[in-house]
Amino acid sequence: METSTIALIILAIVVILYITERIPLAVTSVTACVALALFKVVDFSVAFSGFSSNVVFLVGGMIVVGAALFETGVAQEIGTVLVKIAGNNERTVILAVMLTAGILSGFLNNSSTTALFIPVIAGIAASSAGKVRAKNVLLPLAFAANTGGMMTLVGSTPTLVVQGVLTAAGLRPFTFFEFAWIGVPLLVMLLGYMLTVGYRMEQTIFQAAGKTKLPQVVLTHHSEAAGKPRDNRKMLLCSGIMVMCVVLFATEAIPVHLTSMLGATLVIITGCISEKDTYRNMDWTTVFVLAGSMGLAAGLDQSGAGRLVADTAIGALGASSNPLVVMAVITGLAMVLTQFMSNTATVAMLAPIALFMSQGLGISPHPVLMGLATTCAAAYCTPVGTPPNTLVLSGGYRFKDYLLIGGVFQIAVYCAILAIVPLIWPL
């Protein structure tokens, strides 16, 4: 059997496992690498090449820095102070929460950012004498965390996956803040939507809502964190290290993956986070899914399977297909899939194929992959589209609440991506 055929069989099995999540995503990704080497589709070094990728070190280092910000209390302090400034006006609270969460999610894990704000919002609602209803704030919080993650390279896993695919193919990688060209407009769009149309829809849908029930695990974690004495020296050190990382990311004085690892080592050396807590807080799922997906992409490339899929898809679309149509089809498929399966799995599955299709049609892969990454990061229609969506589900929402409130904006985001991305990254 041809290696390309074996690779396609492995890809099909991986897709099914990604969609059903019968086994953890990280295990599926690593198993794909094992299968590629076991059936001699590619050499072991190629199958597991993603584990030595610069992108993996970039995301791993920033996870450590983010964990240190939460461990020292810096992130909690930022969230509490900025949200308290808003007072008891509900729309102002929504604006403050969304803006702060959106910005923080560009540099921190968006799930952690969401978990940070949930108890803060509950406290504000409880002390507002009914002026602020947590249910009207929690969903905008999740949407802002999703959208804010599109503003930087490390803000969300989909951006990292496409970065890895570009790097593995020897193409120009995206710069750290290059994603902001599309991420910032989408965040501004979201703010405008949730403060007008979205807010009015919430008023109508949630008018009979009662007291919001919050996840016990989040409340417990918040209580434990609140009970810890704050070390001002460590807070100052951690803040300084984060600022240093942001400056180095922006100036690219040294490679971004080196900046990330420098920040990670500094927060540990200075005692901002212990070695034990570093291992405990590391998002190993993200690391292994990212590394495994890059190995799968390498296998599809070297075996010729990716080219075979791309040629088939190109044949179906037509060799003279409009590049925008190709981008619209790929991002449209991603938009649908990411509502029901992990956005990490969706982009890991589609990114290599999108790359091969772009190269086969002779168009730049950068706009197609940028559109794919942002579409996969922007899931608003279901509670399982992203972790932040799931985190706020226990606030009393129904499945259709996401669809009713997020559906309109989802279509707007899709149209905006198709309109803005080709202007910045020509097809």
pLDDT tens, residue by residue, 275-295: 998 888 787 877 888 788 778
User: For residue 241, what pLDDT band results from cuts at 50, 70 and 90?
Assistant: very high
State the pTM of this model. Answer: 0.73
The pLDDT, as a whole number, for residue 220 is 44
* pLDDT, mean of residues 117-140: 81
**Distance separating alpha carbons of residues 235 and 41, to the nearest angstrom:** 50
Which has the closest alpha carbon to 246: 157, 155, 171? 155
pLDDT tens, residue by residue, 343-374: 877 888 888 888 888 888 888 999 999 999 99
User: What percentage of the chain reaches a pLDDT higher than 90?
Assistant: 33
Residue type, 33: C
Which has the closest alpha carbon to 73: 223, 283, 232? 232
The pLDDT, as a whole number, for residue 78 is 73
pLDDT > 90? residue 310: no
* pLDDT, mean of residues 396-413: 91
The pLDDT, as a whole number, for residue 319 is 57
pLDDT > 60? residue 224: no
- Residue boundaries of the structural domains of the chain: 3-424
The pLDDT, as a whole number, for residue 218 is 44
Q: Give one DSSP letter per residue of 366-427, joined into a string.
A: HHHHHHHHHHHH---SSTTSSHHHHHTGGGT--HHHHHHHHHHHHHHHHHHHHHHHHHHS--
User: For residue 147, what pLDDT band results from cuts at 50, 70 and 90?
Assistant: very high
The pLDDT, as a whole number, for residue 221 is 44
Residue predicted with more confidence, 137 or 128: 137
User: For residue 71, what pLDDT band results from cuts at 50, 70 and 90?
Assistant: confident
